[in-house]
Amino acid sequence: MKSFVSTTLFLVLALPLAAQTATPGSRPVASVNGEIITAAKLDSLWNTLSPARREQYEKNGGKSAFLDNYLRKRLLVQEALKGGFDKRPDVQADIDAAKESVLFDRYVRDVVAAQIVSDAEVRKFYEDNKADYAIPEELKIRHIVILPNGAGPRPKSKEQALDLIKQVAMELNAAAVHTSNDAAGVRARIAAFDAAAKRYSEDEAAPKGGDLGYVGKGLLDPTFESTAWELPIGKISSVVETKFGYHLILVEDKKPAGTQPYEVAAPKIREGITAARSAEIVEAVAKLTNELRGASKISVYPENIK
């Protein structure tokens, strides 16, 4: 099966030159049965996620994982529209109710609650608790793992697993001999490692080229971790044995320790303060609806309520 990256590259190459030179937001990130999903559309969907949901995705594949889930959802939506499912009266009623609910919830959040939870309060919370937003040094790690003792998709003995990982190491090292140590050479080694992981590796990260994402200290097997933190960017490790199997490790990038920017932390802080002050917000909503009711013309016909 072609990777998502390969599919996207094919789509871009298939587009006219004008589309390829369009603004970044209008460029396609995917296509579903001819329906183009642009970068701007993806960003818009991504930004509607709650801070908690976005954080979950950031730890598990980021926007690419989110896009994959959205594409699956879009396939079902297209199927529903094709069959006229959206025209059913009960479905229309649910759509109307959902629209009303979104308008109510967003108005309460963005207008009513914003008058109670001010930007100044959010900023003060961030400054007072800045240590909580420290970001540790992280490595972006790829690995290839071969599972011994009959485990994995291709069962093999411990000796066979070791022989195979050594073979993969030889292939990668032979290819690395022809690369330089500049940025282009590092990219070439990462690309070769990506391809080898997709071909040989035997864990869930294999389809992503062995990409484990950015990882801080203390989260991985100690032997694996100590090797990774000693590696220069773009250099492939020797064979590493852990309780999980035999690994080859490549560090793709290093992020220094720092502090999460206020702009990134603010939505989650606001969400937490809003939840803590929900009683005040409910009271404000009740007060506003009473005022609106007093200034409006409302008629109720109880005899028609069954």
| pLDDT tens-digit map of 272-294 | 999 999 999 999 999 999 999 99
Plot region of 73 (φ>0 → left; ψ -120 to 50 → alpha; else → beta): alpha
Place of tokens 């970068």: 39
Domain total of the chain: 2
Residue 290 CB partners (closer than 8 Å, separation 6+): none
Mean pLDDT of the chain: 90
* Residue 285 near residue 108 (C-beta atoms within 8 A): yes
Q: What pLDDT shows up at residue 306?
A: 87
Does residue 66 share a domain with residue 153? no
What CATH number should be reported for the domain holding residue 156? 3.10.50.40
Query: Which tens digits make up the pLDDT trace of 17-67?
Result: 434 445 667 899 999 999 999 999 999 999 888 888 888 888 888 889 999
Percent of the residues in the chain that have a pLDDT greater than 70, as a whole number: 92
Tokens matching residue 163: 């022989």
Does residue 146 share a domain with residue 65? no
Q: What pLDDT shows up at residue 22?
A: 53
Does residue 156 share a domain with residue 81? no
Does residue 145 share a domain with residue 73? no
Does residue 141 share a domain with residue 77? no
* Residue 38 near residue 23 (C-beta atoms within 8 A): no
Tokens matching residue 278: 């929900």
Q: What pLDDT shows up at residue 40?
A: 93
Q: Is residue 292 part of a domain?
A: no
Q: How far apart are CA 165 and CA 199, in angstroms?
A: 12
Does residue 145 share a domain with residue 46? no
Q: What pLDDT shows up at residue 24?
A: 65
Does residue 74 share a domain with residue 2? yes
Query: Which tens digits make up the pLDDT trace of 148-163?
Result: 999 888 899 999 999 9
Beta strands 240-241 and 28-32, pairing class: unpaired
Does residue 158 share a domain with residue 62? no
Does residue 238 share a domain with residue 145? yes
Half-sphere exposure of 224 (CA within 13 A, CB side): 25
Half-sphere exposure of 22 (CA within 13 A, CB side): 14
Query: Which tens digits make up the pLDDT trace of 232-252?
Result: 999 999 999 999 999 999 999
Q: Is residue 112 part of a domain?
A: no
Q: Is residue 185 part of a domain?
A: yes
Q: In the predicted model, is pLDDT for residue 13 greater than 60? A: no
Backbone angles phi, psi at 182, to 5 degrees: -85, -175
Q: Which domain holds residue 151?
A: 137-256
